[in-house]
C-alpha cells in the first residue's frame, strides 16, 4: 500500500465522484463511501475503467445512521493499514424536519454530525500516515448559518435553507477547532467551498434552493471544476503544512462569521462529542 489511500463520502455522484475519478488518475487508492451498493459497484467499475487504476474500493454506510458510520470506520480499519486523506464530502438538502433513527435532525446529522463522528473514529488511522489530510466540504452559504446551542436540531423552526447553511457553518467551525487540536500532529484539516456546481443534488434541491439552482445553471461549474479544490488539497505537496483554512478556487479564502470564536467552537465540540458513543480518548482528539 505505497499508494496514498483516500476515503471520500458521497462519492457516487457530483463533486464526490469527480474528486474520486481525478484522484484515481493521480494513482491514489480511492475508497468510495456510499449509501447504495449497486450504484457504488457501478461507479467503482466506471472510475477504474476511465482512470486505468484498479485500486478502487467502496464501503457502504448511510450517514443518517451512527451505527453504519461506525461500521464504515471499522471495515476501513480491517482493510487498510492507514488513511492518508479523508474527504468529508457528502451532503443533503432535507425538504422537511425529519429525525434520524438516532434522534437527530437529518440535515444536521448527515451534513455535519456523522462527519464529525467518522473523522474522530479515523484519527488514529490518519495519524499512521506520513502526512494525514482531512478535507471538509463547507459552502459560502455558511455566512447565513447560525450556531445556536439550543436549536441545533431546528427545534424552534425548520427551513431547508437554514438547516443546510447551519450545517455548513458547523463544518467550518469544526475544521478550525480540529486544526487547533491537531496542531502538534502531522494531520492537517481544511474546509472547501467548491463553488456553485451543477450536480444532481443541486437540481433535486427543494424550495428556494431549486429556484436558485435553476437561475444559476448558466453560471454553474461542472462537477470536475467543483472538485478541483478538494483534489488540490488532497494531492498538492505545497499545502502539506497548511491547516485550519477555508479554500475556494484552490486558494485560501477569507471567511467571517461572529460564531468563529474559541468559546463557540469549544461548545460545539463538547455538544457534538456528548451526543455520540465515543471513548474519552477519542473525544479529546489526541
**How many CA atoms does the CB half-sphere of 199 hold within 13 Å?**
27
Phi, psi of 257 (to 5 degrees): -155, 140
Distance CA 136, CA 255 (A): 15
| CB neighbours of residue 220 within 10 Å | 19
Cα–Cα distance for residue pair 11/21, rounded to 1 Å: 9
Sheet with 29-34: list strands edge to edge. 56-60, 29-34, 5-9, 85-88, 133-137, 188-193, 245-248, 251-253
Active site residue 164: yes
**Helices then strands, each counted (H, E), the chain:** 12, 8
Mapping DSSP to helix (H, G, I), strand (E, B) and coil, where does residue 52 land? coil
Strand, coil or helix: 102:
coil
From the list 112, 164, 232, 246, the catalytic residue is 164
Q: Please give the backbone phi and psi of residue 56, each rounded to the nearest 5 degrees, phi first.
A: -120, 135
Q: Could you give the 3-state DSSP secondary structure of residue 48?
A: helix
**How do beta strands 133-137 and 188-193 pair?**
parallel
26 burial type by CB count under 10 A (0-12 exposed, 13-18 middle, 19+ buried): middle
Q: What is the spatial distance between Cα 151 and Cα 170, in angstroms, rounded to a whole number?
A: 13
Active site residues: 164
Amino acid at each position: 500500500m505505497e499508494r496514498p489511500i483516500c476515503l471520500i463520502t458521497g462519492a457516487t455522484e457530483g463533486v464526490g465522484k469527480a474528486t474520486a475519478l481525478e484522484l484515481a488518475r493521480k494513482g491514489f487508492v480511492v475508497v468510495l463511501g456510499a449509501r447504495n451498493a449497486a450504484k457504488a459497484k457501478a461507479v467503482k467499475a466506471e472510475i477504474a475503467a476511465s482512470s486505468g487504476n484498479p485500486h478502487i474500493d467502496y464501503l457502504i454506510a448511510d450517514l443518517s445512521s451512527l451505527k453504519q458510520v461506525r461500521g464504515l470506520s471499522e471495515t476501513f480499519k480491517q482493510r487498510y493499514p492507514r488513511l492518508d486523506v479523508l474527504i468529508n464530502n457528502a451532503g443533503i438538502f432535507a425538504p422537511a424536519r425529519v429525525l434520524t433513527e438516532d434522534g437527530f435532525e437529518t440535515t444536521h446529522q448527515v451534513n455535519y454530525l456523522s462527519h464529525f463522528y467518522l473523522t474522530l473514529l479515523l484519527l488514529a488511522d490518519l495519524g499512521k500516515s506520513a502526512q494525514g489530510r482531512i478535507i471538509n466540504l463547507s459552502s459560502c452559504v455558511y455566512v447565513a448559518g447560525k450556531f445556536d446551542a439550543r436549536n441545533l436540531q431546528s427545534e424552534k423552526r425548520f427551513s431547508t435553507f437554514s438547516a443546510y447553511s447551519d450545517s455548513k457553518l458547523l463544518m467550518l467551525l469544526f475544521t478550525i477547532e480540529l486544526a487547533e487540536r491537531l496542531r502538534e500532529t502531522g494531520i492537517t484539516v481544511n474546509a472547501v467551498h467548491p463553488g456553485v456546481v451543477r450536480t444532481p443534488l443541486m437540481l433535486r434541491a427543494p424550495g428556494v434552493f431549486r429556484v436558485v439552482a435553476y437561475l444559476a445553471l448558466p453560471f454553474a461549474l461542472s462537477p470536475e471544476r467543483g472538485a478541483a479544490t478538494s483534489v488540490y488539497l488532497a494531492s498538492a505537496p505545497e499545502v502539506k503544512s497548511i491547516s485550519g483554512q477555508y479554500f475556494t478556487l484552490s486558494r485560501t479564502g477569507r471567511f467571517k462569521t461572529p460564531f468563529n470564536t474559541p468559546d463557540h467552537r469549544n461548545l460545539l465540540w463538547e455538544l457534538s462529542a456528548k451526543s455520540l458513543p465515543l471513548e474519552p480518548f477519542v473525544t479529546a482528539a489526541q
